[in-house]
Amino acid sequence: METDAAIAEAEILPTEIEQAGQDAPEPEQGETSEAVETPETGEKAAEESSGEETPEKLAEEKQKKRNSVQERISQLARQKNEANTRVSELEQQVAYLQSQSQPQTQDMPQTYPRLEDYDYDEGRHQQAVLQYTANLNAQNVSQVMQQQQQAQLAQLQAKKQQIASATFVEKSNDFSIDYPDFKEKVTNPAFEQSDFVANQIVEMSNGPAVAYYLANNQNIANSINRKSDIEALKDLTRISTALSINAKKRRSATQTNAPTPSRTVTPKGKVSKDPDKMTPDEYRRYRGYTK
């Protein structure tokens, strides 16, 4: 069946993201748009040689770029946590105001109290009018406060969406360090995502990796786009989990294959004997006397 095949394919194909990243052409290092002239002197050649970017220097620059991106991601994470905390507080306040206003609304007369409703007892009627007015004012105040807090909630939700989008951009920048063709792949007009899929990818911890995988496997992306939100989310979660496992395996393999420290070289030559401890014959040979 098509659905089962797509799911099975999604379980297996995430491993291809590693090969896709390995096959991606690396950007040329140290190139400029200016023509390079043939060095005329050894001094000029030495200057050009000293200006070349060594693997160590490239790795250092790459790590600096990654550190800068990670710092920005951490800042956005703190902003998101603050927004989540504020949203939770406002939701609790709105729920409390709603619970407090409901009993008063139920007890309050639906219309303004009439004198005849109280057998023309002006005292009782006046008390009912005051109670009605007080309840109406309280209800109005509660509604205004709820509206204000609902507006604040809407602003916070919009801010959270902006933070999520900014975080995805920074994570994409970090992902592009290892996969330089990322932006080219995900901006390809042939790569389509439904609004639901796109929003879910932005919210995922490894969203750029998921987007890159789907961009490299458009048949799976198209299949997910046609599914219901629940089924699409299941597939996206499965792909995200598989990619996370692959990334951990790749990091573990990199650490395992790290070069072993060089062994200390022990000198094997004989150390000269202290002249003060030499025999007369040894001393003569040490000084070069032949007789």
pLDDT at residue 11 in the model = 43
Band of the pLDDT at 23, cuts 50, 70, 90?
Answer: very low
25 against 74, higher pLDDT: 74
Chain segment 145-158, per-residue pLDDT in tens: 777 878 878 888 88
Closest CA to 209 of 252, 255, 243, 235: 243
Rg of the chain, C-alpha, whole Å = 37
Nearest of 228, 174, 157 to residue 197 by alpha carbon: 228
The domain locations on the chain are 56-168, 179-254
- What is the pLDDT of the chain when averaged over all its residues? 74
CA atoms within 13 A on the CB side of 286: 13
156-206 pLDDT, tens digit per residue, is 888 888 888 888 999 999 999 889 999 999 999 999 999 999 999 999 989
Distance, CA of 143 to CA of 65 (rounded, Å): 50
Pick from 246, 248, 172: which is nearest to 208 by CA? 172
Most confident of the following: 117-121, 137-141, 220-224? 220-224
